[in-house]
Amino acid sequence: MMQTDGWTVVTILGLAGVTVITRSFFFLSSKPWTLPAWAQRGLHYAPIAALAAVIVPEVVMTQGALIATWRDARVFAALAGAAWFFWRRSVLGTIVAGMVVYLPLHIHLGW
């Protein structure tokens, strides 16, 4: 049987407490709570910024270093996906176009 030490239990309970307290602030107020206009505008860009922060390093880096060769299937797949999106504005088509380019280059050519 696995034993949990005291610090782990205290840490879990502390994190749970902080989470409950910070999330309950929205319910404690009797008046409606709204974000300022500048914050609402900024939130419109949050999903694309988060996506870019995840995707760009994955495309241009390998094992923590920038790619050193143009023979990388991910770069061509990203370019094909971007081209498809700007041409047709289809998210599913973007994924399919990227994979249609990526898979042959990666599997058959070993890029």
Q: Are 97 and 84 in contact (CB under 8 A)?
A: yes
CB proximity list for 109: less than 8 A, separation 6 or greater:
71, 73
Per-residue pLDDT of the chain (111 residues; tens, 9 = 90+): 567 788 999 999 999 999 999 888 777 777 777 889 999 999 899 988 998 999 899 999 988 899 988 899 999 999 999 999 999 999 999 999 999 999 999 999 988
Task: Note down the domain range covering 74.
Answer: 6-29+49-108
Q: Tell me, yes or no, whether 94 lies in a domain.
A: yes
Kindly state whether residue 79 falls inside one of the protein's structural domains.
Answer: yes
Within a domain: 62: yes
Does 42 fall in a domain? Answer: no
- In terms of C-beta density within 10 A (0-12 exposed, 13-18 middle, 19 or more buried), how is residue 97 classed? buried
DSSP character at residue 104: I
Residue 44: inside a domain: no
pTM of the entire predicted model: 0.60
Total domain count for the chain?
A: 1
Residue count of the chain: 111
Say which amino acid occupies 44. Answer: H
